[in-house]
C-alpha cells in the first residue's frame, strides 16, 4: 500500500518530546517517571494544552519539581515548542477529530496518539487520509499508545513504574511488538520480557474498527529498524489486516522472524455476529475468523502456535534460535535508579511521617462520612440535633445540655437584628445599595463589630467574672474600673433606662433564672447595676453585657473549668454569638435592598434611609 509516510523506521527516541492535550496529571507524571528510570536527560513532556486555562502544571522530574506551561491551543503550544514532534491527545471522542486534525496541521508534529474510544469511523478515516497526505503517523483511536523501551512512552503505556521494570521496558531489547489491544499489549510486554531480552518498541494501534495506522505499517517499520531482530504480532478476530501481513511475508517485504497469533479462536463456538470487546473484534465472514487468519499466517511462513497457551513458547524458541545464531547478543542489565516516592506514596507505605501544618479537632471529612466531634452527620440528622448542639460541638467541643443549647438559640434570635440604623446593618445596606455582592456587603457590616457594636460581650464576661470570682463589692468593682479609665463593658444604653428597660435583657434574665442551675455572675452584675443607676438612670445592664455574663453562668453550669472559661472568653468565642446572630439580620437587610432595587418590592420611600438614630453608635 503506497503512502507518503515518513521513511524513518523509528517514531521515538530518547530525545523525543511531546505535547499533551488535556491535563492528565497521572499520565503525565508516569511519563516523567519513566524518563527518570531510563535516565533521559530531558523530560519527554514539554507542554500541556487545555482550552479552559493557562499557566503552569507542576510535576516531578526525578527529585526535581518542574513547571510545564499550559496553552489554550495546540497551535500555540506547537509554535512555542517546535522540538516536540508527538502530540498525545486525551480529548473526548467528541473533540478527538477536531483536535487531532489541528495537530496534524502543525509542521512540527509528526505523530499523533488518539486515546479516546468511540471516535466515529468517518472521522477516523478522514484523519488517516490527512495523515497519509502529510506523511505523518496516527496511533489510535481507542489506544493506550505505545513506547520505545528505554527512550519514550505514550501516556499510560506499560502501566506503573513497577510493571515497567518487571517488563524490562527501562532498556531496549530485541523485539518489535504490535497489537490492536492496549490492555493485551501491557500483558504481552511482560510475556515477551519473560521469554526474550524484551522489546525495542511496542505499539497498540487501537481496537476500533478503523485505526489511524495498521499492523502491517508498523511491522514494515520494524523491518527497517536495525535494533529490532524479531517481531511479535497479536491480532484479533474481525477484519482482514492479518492477510496483509501474510502477503508481506510471502513477498519478502518482511524477512525478520514473525511470531503471530490471532485471538478469538473460541468465536466459532459462539453465536454468529458476536462482538469481542473492541469495535473491530467482529467476524463478518469466514475469512475474518481467528482460525482462518492464523492458518493464513502459518502458511505464509509466520511462526504461529497451536493456541495462545503456546504463544510464549514460540516467542522463546524464536529468540533462543536468534541468540544461538548470533543475531541477538544479550547485553548486561543496566542499573535501575530508585524512583523517589511522592509524600503520599511514602505515607501510604508507612515510610515517612510529617507533623501536620493544621490540626482540626472538631470535624473530619476524610472518612466514609462527615463527623462533628466524632459524631457522624447521619446520626446528627437522624436524632435531630439542634443548632445549639452544633455550636456547642464545634465551638466549645462539648455536647451541651438542652437548657444550654436552648439559651444559645434564644441569644441568636435576640441578636439577629436591631434595625437598619446600627452601624453594622447600616454599612451592609450601603454596600448592597452600591451594587456589591452579598458576601462583600456582609463583610462590610461584620467588620464594624467591636467594643461599641457587639464586641462588649467578651469584655463584660471577662470583667464581671473577675469581679465575682474575687468577691469584690459592687462599689469597689465600679471604682476599680473607673480608676483604670475603663468603661464598664455591658453597662449603659442611649435610649433604654431603668424606667424603660430593654425587653431583650428582661427576657434573657427570666430565661436564665428559670433554667440555669445557678446565676451567680448575673446576680453580681445586677448588684453592680444598682450602683451605676445611682449615677444615671440609663446605666443599665444592656443586651451585650447580659449575654456575656449569662454565658459565664452557662459555662459554669455545663462543667467547664475556670481555666477553660477564661480561654473561651479570650478567644472571642462569646462575641461569635453576636457575630452569628447579627449576620442573620445583615443578610436580611442586604437581600431587602436588592429586592427593592430589582423592582420585586417597592416602598414609597425606597430611596430614603432613615438614620435618625445612627448617632447612637
Q: Is 278 a catalytic residue?
A: yes
- pLDDT tens-digit profile of 432-465? 999 999 999 999 999 988 777 777 899 999 999 9
- pLDDT tens-digit profile of 347-390? 888 888 888 788 899 999 988 999 999 999 999 999 999 999 99
Q: List, in order, residues 6 or more apart from 577 with CB less than 8 Å away.
A: 391, 408, 411, 412, 415, 457, 547, 551
Alpha-carbon distance 400 to 111, whole Å? 67
Alpha-carbon distance 611 to 536, whole Å? 26
In this structure, what C-alpha cell is assigned to residue 511? 430565661
Q: Which residue has cell 496541521?
A: 105
Say if CB 231 and CB 175 are below 8 A apart. yes
The single residue of 170, 278, 426, 589 carrying the catalytic annotation is 278
- pLDDT of residue 274 exceeding 60, the answer is no
Q: List, in order, residues 6 or more apart from 25 with CB less than 8 Å away.
A: 57, 59
Give mean pLDDT, residues 159-180: 96
- pLDDT of residue 606 exceeding 50, the answer is no
pLDDT at 285: 59
- pLDDT of residue 87 exceeding 50, the answer is yes
Q: Which residue has cell 449603659?
A: 492
Alpha-carbon distance 39 to 55, whole Å? 28
**Entry pTM:** 0.69
Nearest to 538 by CA among 501, 508, 506: 501
Nearest to 143 by CA among 300, 230, 309, 27: 27
pLDDT at 601: 60
In this structure, what C-alpha cell is assigned to residue 430? 450601603
Give mean pLDDT, residues 14-37: 97
Nearest to 198 by CA among 264, 148, 267, 132: 148
pLDDT at 282: 46
- pLDDT of residue 6 exceeding 80, the answer is no
Please report which confidence band the pLDDT of residue 265 belongs to, taking 50, 70 and 90 as the band edges.
low
Nearest to 210 by CA among 274, 114, 350: 114
Q: How many helices (H) and strands (E) does the chain have?
A: 23, 16
Please report which confidence band the pLDDT of residue 275 belongs to, taking 50, 70 and 90 as the band edges.
very low
The topology under which CATH files domain 15-142 is Rossmann fold (3.40.50)
- pLDDT of residue 58 exceeding 90, the answer is yes
Residue 229 to residues 201, 215, 255, 328: CA-CA distances in angstroms? 11, 17, 10, 7
Sign, Cα dihedral of 272, 278, 284, 289: negative
pLDDT at 350: 87
Residue 132 to residues 73, 213, 253: CA-CA distances in angstroms? 24, 9, 20
Nearest to 341 by CA among 23, 29, 24, 28: 29
Give mean pLDDT, residues 170-180: 97
- Indicate the domain borders of the chain: 15-142, 143-353, 355-383, 407-598
- pLDDT of residue 617 exceeding 70, the answer is no
Alpha-carbon distance 563 to 533, whole Å? 32
3-state DSSP assignment of residue 19: strand
Terminal alpha carbon distance of the chain: 90
In this structure, what C-alpha cell is assigned to residue 16? 523525543
Say if CB 244 and CB 253 are below 8 A apart. no
Residue 203 to residues 29, 184, 215, 281, 312: CA-CA distances in angstroms? 20, 11, 9, 18, 18
Residue 147 to residues 11, 259, 489: CA-CA distances in angstroms? 9, 20, 75
- pLDDT tens-digit profile of 387-425? 999 999 999 999 999 999 999 999 999 999 988 888 899
Nearest to 84 by CA among 76, 94, 96: 76
Nearest to 113 by CA among 94, 132, 91, 87: 87
pLDDT at 604: 52
Write the DSSP symbol of residue 338.
P
In this structure, what C-alpha cell is assigned to residue 285? 465472514
Residue 455 to residues 1, 64, 382, 538: CA-CA distances in angstroms? 85, 50, 36, 20
Nearest to 40 by CA among 71, 64, 10, 9: 64
pLDDT at 286: 79
pLDDT at 513: 97
pLDDT at 209: 86
3-state DSSP assignment of residue 372: strand
Say if CB 594 and CB 586 are below 8 A apart. no
Nearest to 207 by CA among 136, 102, 278, 276: 278
- pLDDT of residue 608 exceeding 70, the answer is no
Q: How far is CA 9 from the centre of its chain?
A: 40
Supply angle C-alpha 311, 316, 317, rounded to 5.
Answer: 100
| 64-71 and 55-61 strand pairing | antiparallel
- pLDDT of residue 267 exceeding 80, the answer is no
String of DSSP letters for 266-323:
GGGGSPTT---SSTT----SGGGSHHHHHHHHHHHT-B--SSGGGHHHHHHHHHHHHH
- pLDDT of residue 75 exceeding 50, the answer is yes
What dihedral angle (degrees, nearest 10) is formed by the CA atoms of 600, 604, 607, 611? -120
Give mean pLDDT, residues 75-93: 98
Classify domain 143-353 by CATH number: 3.40.50.261
Sign, Cα dihedral of 348, 353, 356, 359: positive
Beta-bridge partner residues of 203: 146, 178
- pLDDT of residue 266 exceeding 80, the answer is no
pLDDT at 611: 46
pLDDT at 280: 47
Average pLDDT value over all residues in the chain: 91
pLDDT at 600: 63
| 18-21 and 86-89 strand pairing | parallel
Instruction: Please state, as a whole number, how many other Cβ atoms lie within 10 Å of the Cβ of residue 612.
Output: 8
> Which H or E element spans position 160?
none
Please report which confidence band the pLDDT of residue 268 belongs to, taking 50, 70 and 90 as the band edges.
low
Give mean pLDDT, residues 590-602: 79
Sign, Cα dihedral of 163, 165, 170, 172: negative
Alpha-carbon distance 222 to 249, whole Å? 13
Give percent above pLDDT 90 in the chain: 81
Please report which confidence band the pLDDT of residue 259 belongs to, taking 50, 70 and 90 as the band edges.
very high
Q: Do the domains spanning 15-142 and 143-353 agree at the CATH topology level? A: yes
Amino acid at each position: 500500500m503506497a503512502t507518503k509516510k515518513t521513511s524513518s523506521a523509528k517514531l521515538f527516541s530518547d530525545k523525543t518530546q511531546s505535547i499533551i492535550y488535556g491535563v492528565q496529571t497521572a499520565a503525565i507524571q508516569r511519563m516523567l517517571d519513566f524518563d527518570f528510570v531510563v535516565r533521559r536527560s530531558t523530560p519527554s513532556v514539554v507542554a500541556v494544552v487545555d482550552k479552559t486555562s493557562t499557566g503552569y502544571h507542576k510535576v516531578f522530574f526525578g527529585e526535581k519539581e518542574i513547571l510545564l506551561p499550559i496553552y489554550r491551543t495546540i497551535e500555540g503550544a506547537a509554535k512555542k515548542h517546535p522540538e516536540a514532534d508527538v502530540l498525545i491527545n486525551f480529548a473526548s471522542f467528541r473533540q478527538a477529530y477536531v483536535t487531532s486534525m489541528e495537530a496534524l496541521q502543525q509542521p512540527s508534529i509528526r505523530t499523533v496518539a488518539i486515546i479516546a474510544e468511540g471516535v466515529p469511523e468517518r472521522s477516523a478515516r478522514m484523519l488517516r487520509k490527512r495523515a497519509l497526505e502529510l506523511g505523518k503517523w496516527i496511533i489510535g483511536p481507542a489506544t493506550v499508545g505505545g513506547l520505545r523501551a528505554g527512550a519514550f512512552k505514550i501516556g499510560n503505556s506499560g502501566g506503573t513504574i513497577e510493571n515497567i521494570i518487571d517488563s524490562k521496558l527501562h532498556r531496549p531489547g530485541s523485539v518489535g511488538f504490535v497489537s490492536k489491544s492496549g490492555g493485551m499489549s501491557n500483558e504481552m510486554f511482560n510475556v515477551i520480557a519473560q521469554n526474550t531480552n524484551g522489546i525495542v518498541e511496542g505499539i497498540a494501534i487501537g481496537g476500533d474498527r478503523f485505526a489511524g495506522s495498521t499492523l502491517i505499517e508498523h511491522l514494515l517499520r520494524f523491518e527497517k529498524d536495525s535494533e529490532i531482530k524479531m517481531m511479535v504480532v497479536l491480532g484479533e478476530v474481525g477484519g482482514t489486516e492479518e492477510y496483509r501481513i501474510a502477503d508481506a511475508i510471502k513477498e519478502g517485504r518482511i524477512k525478520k522472524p514473525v511470531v503471530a497469533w490471532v485471538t478469538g479462536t473460541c468465536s466459532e463456538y459462539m453465536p454468529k455476529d458476536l462482538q469481542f470487546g473492541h469495535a473491530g473484534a467482529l467476524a463478518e465472514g469466514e475469512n475474518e475468523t481467528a482460525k482462518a487468519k492464523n492458518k493464513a499466517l502459518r502458511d505464509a511462513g509466520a511462526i504461529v502456535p497451536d493456541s495462545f497457551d503456546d504463544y510464549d513458547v514460540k516467542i522463546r524458541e524464536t529468540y533462543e534460535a536468534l541468540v544461538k545464531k548470533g543475531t541477538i547478543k544479550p547485553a548486561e542489565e543496566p542499573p535501575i535508579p530508585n524512583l523517589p516516592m511522592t509524600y503520599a506514596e511514602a505515607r501510604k507505605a508507612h515510610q515517612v511521617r510529617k507533623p501536620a501544618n493544621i490540626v482540626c479537632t472538631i470535624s473530619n471529612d476524610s472518612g466514609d462520612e462527615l463527623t462533628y466531634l466524632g459524631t457522624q452527620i447521619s446520626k446528627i440528622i437522624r436524632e435531630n440535633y439542634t443548632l445549639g448542639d452544633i455550636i456547642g460541638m464545634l465551638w466549645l467541643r462539648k455536647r451541651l445540655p438542652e437548657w444550654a443549647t436552648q439559651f444559645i438559640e434564644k441569644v441568636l434570635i435576640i441578636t439577629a437584628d436591631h434595625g437598619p440604623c446600627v452601624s453594622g446593618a447600616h454599612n451592609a445596606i450601603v454596600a448592597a445599595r452600591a451594587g456589591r455582592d452579598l458576601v462583600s456587603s456582609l463583610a462590610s457590616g461584620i467588620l464594624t463589630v467591636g467594643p461599641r457594636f457587639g464586641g462588649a460581650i467578651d469584655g463584660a464576661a471577662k470583667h464581671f467574672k473577675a469581679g465575682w470570682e474575687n468577691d469584690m463589692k459592687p462599689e469597689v468593682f465600679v471604682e476599680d474600673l473607673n480608676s483604670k479609665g475603663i468603661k464598664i463593658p455591658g453597662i449603659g444604653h442611649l435610649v433604654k433606662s431603668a424606667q424603660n428597660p430593654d425587653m431583650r435583657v428582661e427576657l434573657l434574665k427570666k430565661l436564665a433564672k428559670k433554667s440555669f442551675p445557678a446565676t451567680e455572675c448575673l446576680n453580681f452584675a445586677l448588684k453592680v447595676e444598682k450602683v451605676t443607676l445611682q449615677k444615671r438612670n440609663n446605666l443599665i445592664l444592656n443586651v451585650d453585657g447580659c449575654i456575656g455574663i449569662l454565658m459565664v453562668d452557662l459555662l459554669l453550669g455545663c462543667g467547664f473549668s475556670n481555666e477553660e472559661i477564661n480561654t473561651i472568653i479570650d478567644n472571642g468565642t462569646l462575641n461569635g454569638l453576636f457575630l452569628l446572630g447579627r449576620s442573620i439580620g445583615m443578610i436580611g437587610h442586604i437581600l431587602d435592598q436588592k429586592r427593592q432595587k430589582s423592582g420585586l418590592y417597592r416602598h414609597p420611600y425606597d430611596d430614603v434611609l432613615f438614620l435618625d438614630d445612627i448617632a447612637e453608635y
